[in-house]
Amino acid sequence: MNTITGTETASPAHHRQLLDDLVSDHMTALLAYAEKLLSDRHTAQDIVQETLLRAWPHTERLYSTEGSVRGWLLTVARNLIVDRMRSACVRRESVGIDNRDVVLPDHCESVLVSVETTSLLRQLSQDHREVLVHTYLCGRTIKETAHILRIPAGTVKSRQHYALNALRARVASRDPATMN
């Protein structure tokens, strides 16, 4: 019991578990978001690390309120990115009146789509996922994919067909508006 505030203080183990949950639940999305804004994986990793460090003292409060934990983390990450972009040290110039306000486009929607797509792909079988990665993400032809995976071209077409049907069904079950 905290005698100053009259509230119970969480145990260090409980606080550590909340921090572990924070990292496991949100690190991938944070990294994707920061990398999308910065186009630099190493700087994005620094931003994510700083974001999680700033969240650490607040983990108990973040998980005990009704607000969005991910929303809070993305806001902190975005603010850190803006601060980094505005930094005269990084830009190797002095900040003047004309360049004080750097406006970054909001890429939140595209990052969320990327995270959702990744989640959907992970739900597919390894065989189906491999075919889609090669044909759609890598832009390979059916023949090239068949050669790389050492399977017949007909098998690539079949796996692609069933994988796309599975993805369509999952998307439709998540959002009735996509059933048009």
Express each pLDDT in 108-150 by its tens digit: 777 777 777 778 888 899 999 999 989 988 889 999 999 999 9
Residue where a domain stops, chosen among 91, 112, 134 = 91
- Two structure tokens written together for 42: 């190493």
- Residue 63 covered by a domain: yes
Same domain, 21 and 86: yes
Same-domain pairing of 18 and 73: yes
CATH of the domain at 151: 1.10.10.10
Structural domain includes residue 137: yes
Query: What's the pLDDT band for 5 if we cut at 50, 70, 90?
Result: very low
Clarify whether residues 87 and 138 are in a common domain: no
In a domain, 97, yes or no: no
Average pLDDT, the chain: 77
Residue 2 belongs to a domain: no
Asked if residue 112 is part of any domain, the answer here is: no
Query: CATH code at 16?
Result: 1.10.1740
The more confident residue out of 96 and 161 is: 161
Task: Provide the residue range defining the domain that includes 156.
Answer: 123-179
Residue 102 domain-assigned (yes or no): no
Residue with tokens 């578990």: 17
Per-residue pLDDT band for 2 (boundaries 50, 70, 90) equals very low
22 and 72 in a single domain? The answer is yes
CB atoms near residue 47 (< 10 Å) = 26
Q: How many domains does the chain have?
A: 2
Q: Is residue 36 part of a domain?
A: yes
Query: Would you state the pLDDT for residue 172?
Result: 83
What does the alpha-carbon distance between residue 24 and residue 132 come to, in Å, rounded to a whole number?
26
Is residue 132 within 8 Å of 166, Cβ to Cβ? no
pLDDT-based confidence at 3, cuts 50/70/90? Answer: very low
Q: Is 3 helix (H, G, I), strand (E, B) or coil?
A: coil
**Distance between CA atoms of 33 and 39, rounded to whole angstroms?**
10
